[in-house]
Amino acid sequence: MQKIILLGAGYANLSLIKSLNEYSLDNAEFILVNNNSYHYKTTELHKIAAKEEGKNIKIELNKILPAKVKFIQDEVISIQEDKIICKNNELSYDKVVVALGANKNTFGISGLDECYEISDYEKALLTQKTIYENIQKDEQSYKNIVICGAGFSGIELCASLAIMLKNQANIYIVEAMDEILPMYPKSLAQVARKYLESLGVNILSSHKIIKKEGDKLFLNDENNFIVSKNIIFTAGVKGNEVINNSFMASKNNRVLVNKFLQCEENKNCYVIGDCSLIMNKERPFAPTAQIACKQGEYLANCINKILLNNENEIKEFNYIDKGSVCSLSNQNAIAYILDKEFSGFSAKLLKKFTEIKWNFKLEGLKSLF
């Protein structure tokens, strides 16, 4: 029996597991390794940080995994050509699927490593606790909240905080580019900008962060800074640091995989989700839950074929980016889907739909009740 090790219980590997057929589950040994006993829905972590919603954002793996998939809770330290080294285990493999997600990328800017984050459940919870304790204090620096980066997750966090903390805090969002949400058409970004401004958010676009020293975040030059006890970094991501500790060549800890999502050095090693790098013409696809899920589904299909000795039927991975939805708190959203722009109620519905779809994949009918 082949031993197939799956590293990371995020969007990519859970999609893979949920797309395996019964034959595969019966005819290979699947072992999932994850540092936590639960899966967290990264795309909803801003709600935790803002205390907008707390339920159903993390889900225990034993409630969603098929009985035939063995789960090991452990931290992966290094990926080698013949084995995986974890904190408490060493695992040999016939095939390994690496899907350990992302870490923040502070581009070497001094002090930014100390910022709060919302990149995993525990960090989002710490951010929430810190903000809610701090804003009770009188000094202005405790009431200033600064979000570094006006990309997807920064804007989602910003809108949720603005709704939840109305008149209790001063919220700033800092962006080096001249407009927020650089991945969206300008017209949609401006819808988001107007909405955030109507909620009292200070949008500092064209402001480049040069360093953070203690509570001071310096923008553009040494004379221009904001003082805040609540500085949250959402500006950049790279692949998981573990990739650095592996035999695979990578750029920003992301492995440039081939058309079958294999790493070139060892075809039994697949890399999917935020740790993988897939080119879309000249530029890589942005790491999103959408592409992670598609890669997981594709790879399950490959494994289903390999185990049935139908390897020759495997086609190359082909991805079409359908667009994305950016929530602006529970009350508003914008979306850019198949070159069409949506905002307000229709975009909110699209966001709800993507959340329901993922819950359904994880829990089936139970998720609807």
Residues that bind ligand FAD (CB under 6 A): 8-12, 33-36, 39, 42-43, 45-46, 75-76, 99-101, 118-119, 152-153, 240, 242, 273-274, 287-290, 292, 324
Q: Alpha-carbon dihedral of residues 127, 130, 132, 133, nearest 10 degrees? A: 170
User: CB-wise, 295 or 301, nearer to ligand FAD?
Assistant: 295
Tell me how many degrees the CA angle 218-219-222 measures, rounded to the nearest 5.
55
Min dist CB 217 to ligand FAD, Å, is 20
User: CB-wise, 73 or 268, nearer to ligand FAD?
Assistant: 73
User: CB-wise, 220 or 331, nearer to ligand FAD?
Assistant: 331
User: CB-wise, 77 or 249, nearer to ligand FAD?
Assistant: 77
Q: Which two tokens stand for residue 239?
A: 């692949």
Min dist CB 274 to ligand FAD, Å, is 4
Min dist CB 227 to ligand FAD, Å, is 25
Which three-class secondary structure state does DSSP give residue 96?
A: strand
Length of the chain: 369
Min dist CB 106 to ligand FAD, Å, is 14
Alpha carbons 213 and 211: distance in angstroms, whole number = 7
Alpha carbons 294 and 49: distance in angstroms, whole number = 28
Alpha carbons 142 and 133: distance in angstroms, whole number = 9
Tell me the HSE value of 125 on the side-chain side, using a 13 A CA sphere: 8
Min dist CB 90 to ligand FAD, Å, is 14
User: CB-wise, 144 or 153, nearer to ligand FAD?
Assistant: 153
User: CB-wise, 149 or 228, nearer to ligand FAD?
Assistant: 149
Q: Which two tokens stand for residue 241?
A: 């640091």
**51-79: b (≥16 Cβ within 10 Å) or e:** bbeeeebbbebeebbeeebebebbebeeb
Closest CB to ligand FAD: residue number: 10
Min dist CB 45 to ligand FAD, Å, is 5
